[in-house]
Amino acid sequence: MLNKLNIEQTKSRPGHSSDNGLAETKNGGVIRKHMGYDHIASVHADEVNTFYKEDFNPYMNFHRCGVPELKTDRKGKTNRVYNAYATPLEILLNLPEPRLKDGVTRQQLEKLAGAQSDTGAAMKMRESKRKLFDGIEAAAQRRAA
Taking only the tens place, the pLDDT of each residue in 109-134 is 999 889 988 899 999 999 999 999 99
The DSSP annotation for the chain comes to -TTTTT-------TTSTTS-HHHHHHIIIIIHHHH-SS---GGGHHHHHHHIIIIIHHHHHHT---EEEEEE-TTS-EEEEEEE---HHHHHHTSSS----TT--HHHHHHHHHTS-HHHHHHHHHHHHHHHHHHHHHHHHHHH-
Taking only the tens place, the pLDDT of each residue in 51-65 is 999 999 888 888 887
